[in-house]
Amino acid sequence: MDEKIIALVKPEYFDKIPHMFRKHATEATCGLIAREYPDLYAAFEHEPSASEVEEMTRIVNGVFEERMGKHHML
């Protein structure tokens, strides 16, 4: 399930994260989404609708933007 969510991250964001921190970044992001948006997260256990994919894309990229800005990676 987390792989489906991480696949929505913009490649340019993911490429800027050092390899040694990628696992932590992806696990922490998916954990945050599971806590904050449990219904949307659960939709990714199966095949999410187009609107759910769109919303998740917006959310996951927003989280990455926020965290990367905090660490001066953007």
Q: Which residues are within 8 A (CB) of 8 and not within 5 positions of it... i.e. 6 or more apart?
A: 53, 56, 57, 60, 61
pTM here? Answer: 0.89
Q: Which residues are within 8 A (CB) of 61 and not within 5 positions of it... i.e. 6 or more apart?
A: 8, 9, 10, 13
Rounded-to-integer distance, Cα 33 and Cα 2, Å: 10
Q: What is the pLDDT along the chain (74 residues), one digit of tens a residue?
A: 799 999 999 999 989 999 999 999 999 999 999 999 999 999 999 999 999 999 999 999 999 999 999 988 87
